[in-house]
Amino acid sequence: MTFEIRCSCCGHRSRKFSLENFWKTDPAEQIAKHGWDSFGDAFYCPKCVKTWASRNGKNKKLWGKDHTKQRVYQVIIGDLLDHIEYMRTGEWPM
């Protein structure tokens, strides 16, 4: 099972992480380290993080590294639950 996130601004995808290697390459750590950031539920790639201030003004700040990592874990858990549901029922949850 692999995992990736998408930039809410330009659609750029992170590299694909294999969840089997989770403890060797914690995706949340890698994604934050490579300069991804987040705002609420949305992820932004390193390129769009650089242009964030000019697009959104100085007062609207991205939520930072810790929030980004938490969001990555939430998405992984969501994906895992979908996967379990698929194994249980043979259908992907809507």
The distance of closest approach from Cβ of residue 43 to Zn ion in the complex, given in angstroms and rounded to an integer, is: 9
The distance of closest approach from Cβ of residue 22 to Zn ion in the complex, given in angstroms and rounded to an integer, is: 25
Matching residue, tokens 């590299």: 15
Beta carbon nearer to Zn ion, 8 or 79? 8
Beta carbon nearer to Zn ion, 7 or 28? 7
Matching residue, tokens 């938490």: 70
The distance of closest approach from Cβ of residue 71 to Zn ion in the complex, given in angstroms and rounded to an integer, is: 15
- 13, 16, 29, 72, 91 from 62: Cα distances, Å: 19, 23, 17, 15, 36
Binding site for Zn ion (CB under 5 A): 7, 9-10, 12, 45, 48
Beta carbon nearer to Zn ion, 45 or 76? 45
Of the candidates 56, 74, 61, 75, the one whose C-alpha atom is nearest the C-alpha of residue 6 is: 75
